[in-house]
Amino acid sequence: MAESGRREELLAKLLAYSADHGLSEVSLRPLAAAVGSSPRMLLYFFGSKEGLVREVHRHARDVQLELLSEALAKQPDRIAALRALWRWLRDPAHHDVVRFFFESYARSLRGGAWEGFGEASVREWLPRLRAALGGAEAEATLTLAALRGLVLDLLATGDADRVDEAFEDFLARL
């Protein structure tokens, strides 16, 4: 149990580090130092740097899915649920984690340690959005694409007013 607790603690620290600095260009020694571990322990828990990257991505998806589930479960209707989710996504306090998500998503298109991240993310989010929206796959797909596109636009431009207005326009069309 202690090992699994230490592994989970390292995953949380690695995710926080990744959100601030990314993972693609860092070697194990400085990464281990940054999270209070050693390269040997990181290899023990994750097997390789590629394994570590995969596990951090899996952990990031789990965190995002939990937040999505909580936002959708607390709201009485689909529009309120989407607004709650949007508030979380657009909150500057979460922008580093969201940037890490987009970095990982883009890298997954090339394979390697990130392979499958983007597809897994879509496949994990769609059922939850379908349930929140009443079961329509096309509507869930469009909603996921709109949310991700709007967040990416917000991160790129910082124009929260314009992006919020576009989000509200999207909700009105649902």
Q: Where are the domains of the chain?
A: 49-173
The domain made up of 49-173 has a fold known as Tetracycline Repressor; domain 2 (1.10.357)
pTM of the full structure: 0.79
Q: What is the pLDDT of residue 24?
A: 67
- Tell me how far apart the alpha carbons of residues 130 and 143 are, in angstroms, rounded to a whole number: 9
- Tell me how far apart the alpha carbons of residues 102 and 128 are, in angstroms, rounded to a whole number: 20
Per-residue pLDDT of the chain (174 residues; tens, 9 = 90+): 577 888 999 998 998 888 777 776 778 899 999 999 999 999 999 998 888 888 888 887 787 778 777 777 787 788 888 898 899 889 998 888 788 889 888 988 988 777 888 999 899 889 988 888 887 899 999 999 999 999 999 999 999 999 999 999 999 998
